[in-house]
Amino acid sequence: MEIKLLLIATLLGVFCCSISRAQKEGNECINANAKYCGECIQAGAKCGWCRHPDFLTQGEAVSSRCDELQSLLIRGCSLADIENPRGGQRVLLDRPVTNRLKGADKLRLENITQIQPQKLAITLRAGEPQSFNLKFKRAEDYPIDMYYLMDLSYSMKDDLENVKNLGTNLMQEMTKITSDFRIGFGSFVEKTVMPYISTTPAKLLNPCTGGLNCTSPFSYKNVLKLTSDGKKFNTLVGKQQISGNLDSPEGGFDAIMQVAVCGDQIGWRTDVTRLLVFSTDAGFHFAGDGKLGGIVLPNDGKCHLENNMYTMSHYYDYPSIAHLVQKLSDNNIQTIFAVTEEFQPVYKELKNLIPKSAVGTLSANSSNVINLIIDAYNSLSSEVILENSKLPEGLTIAYTSLCKNGIVSEGENGRKCSNISIGDEVMFTIDVTATGCPKMGKPETIKIKPLGFNEEVEITLNFICECDCSSGGIANSDNCTLGNGTLECGACKCNPGRVGRNCECSSNEVATEDMDRTCRRDNSTDLCSNNGECVCGTCECKKRDNADERYSGPFCECDNFNCDRSNNLLCGGNGLCKCRECICEPNWKGSACDCSLDSSTCMASNKQICNGRGTCECGTCKCTDPKFQGLTCETCPTCPGVCIEHKDCVQCRTFGTGEKAERCEKDCSEFSLVKVKERDELPQPNDAAYPVMHCKERDANDCWFYYTYAVNNNTKEVHVVDKLECPTGPDIIPIVLGVVVGIVLIGLALLLIWKLLMVIHDRREFAKFEKEKLNAKWDTGENPIYKSAVTTVVNPKYEGK
C-alpha cells in the first residue's frame, strides 16, 4: 500500500511538467535506449519500466518499455506493472546537541554533542536528490587545547621575555571562556644545513655573535606537552634560549607539520577545540626551498619526533601549503598566526588558503599576545564551515544554510554561518544527488564535518541500480526462443551472441539480405519505411523525443502524430490518431474531427435552429441572410433601430448618464465596449470584414455622441468616442468687453467727426471774413473824438546843452 501511495505521489509530481517542455528538452527515458529495467531507472528519476509481458505493440522496441510515468499510463500500462523504485534515508544515530552550561556538572568529552544527526544511511536513485537537515550548536564551556609555537631566532629575543609569563596569565583569561583549558609550548628556528645556518663547529655551538650566549640551532623542539599547569609552562619557557640562523625566512612549516601529525607527543585530546598559535616576525620557507640545501625528498607528512626534537629536517623538504592544509584539516587544528606588522600581508594571503585560520598583529615585543589570542579565538569560533570528504564519482552535494537572524545562503556560501555566539543553533539543508551507479554498485561512505571540530556526520550511501523485479528473472526462459535469454521484468535479456525482442536471432545473422527483405513494404527499397531498423527480420521502430509520438506497424509505416489538426490540436482533440488517420469520437466527424454533429449549440431561444435564418453546420449556424449574425443568427447590426436599441446602454457605460445609469451593470453587459478618442478612429464599414453600423445619438443635455455597432465572430462590439459634442452657450465676458470697446470706439469716432466738422466750419467762416475784409471800403479821415494817448511836456529851463 505504501509503495502504491508513493508511486501515485511521484506520478502527480511528474505529471505537472508540460508536454511542450518535454518536446523541447527531449525525453531522457527514451534517449537512454534502455534494454533492461536497471538501465531504465538509472536514466532519470522520472523514468519507469513497464513489466507487463503484452505491453509492446508490433514494431515497438524493447526500450519502449522505458518511458516517463504518465506516458506509460497513457499507453495502457497499469500502475501496478510499472517499476519505479524510489530512494530514501534512515537516521542511524541521532543524539541531540548538548545544552551544557558553564559551571554545571562536567560531562565527559565524548558525551558533548555539537552536531546532529551523527550517522545516516541514504538510498540513492540516479537523478533523485535526497535531503536531510544538519543541526549545529556551539556548546557552552567546550574544552580547549592550545599549543604555542614560537620562533626562537635571534630577532625574537625581546618577545621571549614576555612569553615567559604567558602560561598563568593566559590561563586566567581563558577561564572566562572555558573551565577546561590546556596549554603547550614548542619552538622552531631552521633546518640545520647550509645555507640556512652556519655549519662551522663554533657556530653550531653558539650561532650568535657579540659575546651573546645562544643555544645551538634546531629545526623544531616540543618543549612542553599540553598541560593544564600554567606555572609549569612559565618555568619551562623561562629556561628557553634564543638561537640564530642565516637567512630571513624561517622553517616554521616543518614545525607546524610536526605539531599537526604528532598527536600523542603533543598531547592533543580528541573531542576538544584545538588551537595552534604560530608566533614569528619573519616569513616562511615552503616546498621547493629545500633544494638550496640539497634536500629534494618531499615532506612525507609523518611524525619524526625523537626526544621531542624533529630529526628529519635535513632529509625531507619543507611541506607545501596544500599539504599543511590537508593535515591541519584532518587533525581539526585551527591556526592563529601572531605576526608583526611587517609580515601581515604575507600571512593574510596564507590565511585565505588555510580554512579556519586567523591573523593577528603582534607587537614588537609580543606584549599584546594574550589579547591577540582571545580576539582570534572569538573570530574563529564564531564561524562554522562544513566540509565533506572526497565524493565518489557521479555524486554531488549541495548546501543551504539557515543562519542566525534567518539569513539563508546557497552554493558555496551555503556551507557556512558567521557571527555565531555560544549557545546559538544553526541549520543546514544538505542535498545528495547521484548521476548514476558506481562501479559494481557497492555502498560508499562519505563524511561531513565542521572545520576545526572533531565531530562529523557519517553517511552510508546505497545505490539503486536494479529493479525489484530483476531478482525474479527466469533464466533460459522458453519465452526467449529456446532459452536464449533471461525473462526479466517482462522482457528478454538475451544471452551473449543473441539479439531480437525474443532473442530469436544470432548476432551473426542480423545483417543478412534475406532478413532485410522481410522489412521492406511492397518490395520498397526503404527498410522499415525509413522509420526504424530491421532486427532479425522484424522492424523495430524509431523513438521520438516526445514520448506521446510513436511509429508503429509491421513496417513502421504508421504513426500517431501526422493526422490533420484543428485549433492546433491533433484531431481537434476529439479523436485518436491511428496510422495517420483520425478516428473521431461519437458526435464528431471530419478529417480533423473538428465538425460537431450536435445541433444543440445552434438552437435559438425560440426553439428554432438558427432562428429559422440559417443552417447548422458542425455545431455552428451559417446564416442564409448575410445581414444577420450571431451564434443563432439573432443579430442584425445594420437593421434600423439598432442605434436606438443600444443608445441607453452605450450612454451609461461610457458616460455614466442616461435612463439606465443606475442599473447599467445589470442590463448592459451583452456587448464589449471599446473607447476611442476621435471619430476618425471608429471602425469604417469598408475597412472591416463584418458589417458595421454607425450611430449618432443625442442625450438629455442636447449633447451628441458617436458609436459603431457590429458583430465580430459572434461577439457584439461597440466602439464609442469618449467625448460628448455639446452646443456651446454665449461667452458673456467677451460680449461685454466687445460692447464696451464698441461704445468707446463709437464715441471717439463721433467726437472726431464733430471736431472735423467744426474745423471745416471755422475755416469757411474765416475765409468768408477775409474776403469781406478785402472788399470793404473804410473812411480814412481822422476821428474827431480821438485823443492821442501821448502827452509831450517841454522843460522851460532847458537850454539845449
**Side-chain-facing half-sphere of 131: CA atoms under 13 Å:** 8
**Average pLDDT, integer, range 393-411:** 91
Q: Is the pLDDT of residue 1 over 80?
A: no
Least confident of 20-24, 304-308, 327-331: 20-24
Least confident of 128-137, 231-240, 274-283, 391-400: 231-240
Q: Is the pLDDT of residue 535 over 50?
A: yes
Question: What is the distance between the alpha carbons of residues 188 and 153, in angstroms, rounded to a whole number?
Answer: 8
Question: What is the distance between the alpha carbons of residues 582 and 587, in angstroms, rounded to a whole number?
Answer: 14
C-alpha cell, 473: 528473472
Query: Where are the alpha helices (H) located in 685-775, listed in sequence order?
Result: 732-775
**Average pLDDT, integer, range 300-313:** 93
Q: Is the pLDDT of residue 24 over 50?
A: no
C-alpha cell, 304: 619524526
**Average pLDDT, integer, range 366-395:** 87
Q: Collect all residues with Cβ–Cβ distance below 8 Å to 758 and sequence separation of at least 6.
A: none
Give residue 667's pLDDT band: very low, low, confident or very high (50, 70, 90).
confident
Question: For residue 472, what are the CA distances in angstroms to 462, 465, 475, 693?
Answer: 21, 15, 9, 78
Q: What is the number of other CB atoms lying within 10 angstroms of the CB of residue 76?
A: 12
Question: What is the distance between the alpha carbons of residues 174 and 181, in angstroms, rounded to a whole number?
Answer: 7
Question: What is the distance between the alpha carbons of residues 339 and 363, in angstroms, rounded to a whole number?
Answer: 8
Q: pLDDT at position 167, please?
A: 74
Q: Who wins on pLDDT, 792 or 320?
A: 320
Long-range contacts of 479-487 (CB under 8 A, 24+ apart): 479/53
Q: Collect all residues with Cβ–Cβ distance below 8 Å to 332 and sequence separation of at least 6.
A: 274, 451, 452, 453, 454
Least confident of 133-137, 267-271, 787-791: 787-791
Burial of 337 (0-12, 13-18, 19+ CB in 10 A): buried
What is the DSSP-derived secondary structure letter of residue 96?
P
Please state whether the peptide bond connecting residue 298 to the residue before it is cis, i.e. omega within 30 degrees of 0.
no
Q: Is the pLDDT of residue 103 over 70?
A: no
Q: Who wins on pLDDT, 26 or 496?
A: 496
C-alpha cell, 118: 551523527
Q: What is the number of other CB atoms lying within 10 angstroms of the CB of residue 766?
A: 10
Closest Cα partner for 164 from 323, 357, 26, 365?
365
Q: Is the pLDDT of residue 9 over 50?
A: no
Q: pLDDT at position 512, please?
A: 59
The continuous run of DSSP H or E covering 20 comes out as helix 19-25
How large a percentage of the chain has pLDDT more than 70?
Answer: 91
**Average pLDDT, integer, range 472-492:** 86
Give residue 429's pLDDT band: very low, low, confident or very high (50, 70, 90).
very high
Give residue 10's pLDDT band: very low, low, confident or very high (50, 70, 90).
very low
Q: pLDDT at position 555, please?
A: 85
Give the pTM. 0.59
Give residue 301's pLDDT band: very low, low, confident or very high (50, 70, 90).
very high
Give residue 420's pLDDT band: very low, low, confident or very high (50, 70, 90).
confident
Give residue 514's pLDDT band: very low, low, confident or very high (50, 70, 90).
low
**Average pLDDT, integer, range 406-417:** 91
Q: pLDDT at position 14, please?
A: 37
What pLDDT, in 10s, does the model give residues 670-709? 888 899 988 888 888 777 777 788 888 888 888 888 889 8
Q: Is the pLDDT of residue 636 over 80?
A: no
In the chain, count of helices (H) and strands (E)?
18, 42
Give residue 13's pLDDT band: very low, low, confident or very high (50, 70, 90).
very low
Q: How many residues does the chain have?
A: 801
Q: Is the pLDDT of residue 21 over 50?
A: no
Query: Where are the alpha helices (H) located in 138-239, listed in sequence order?
Result: 157-163, 166-174, 201-205, 230-238
What pLDDT, in 10s, does the model give residues 206-227? 878 777 788 888 999 999 999 9
What pLDDT, in 10s, does the model give residues 517-531? 778 887 777 888 888
Q: pLDDT at position 376, please?
A: 87
Biggest alpha carbon–alpha carbon distance for the chain: 198
What pLDDT, in 10s, does the model give residues 729-788? 677 888 888 899 999 999 999 999 999 999 999 999 888 888 888 876 555 566 677 777
C-alpha cell, 552: 508503429
How large a percentage of the chain has pLDDT more than 90?
Answer: 28
Q: Collapse the DSSP code of 701 into the 3-class scheme (helix H, G, I; strand E, B; otherwise coil) and give the result.
A: coil
Question: What is the distance between the alpha carbons of residues 264 and 183, in angstroms, rounded to a whole number?
Answer: 15
Q: pLDDT at position 543, please?
A: 77
Q: Who wins on pLDDT, 7 or 26?
A: 26
Q: pLDDT at position 513, please?
A: 64
Q: Is the pLDDT of residue 422 over 50?
A: yes
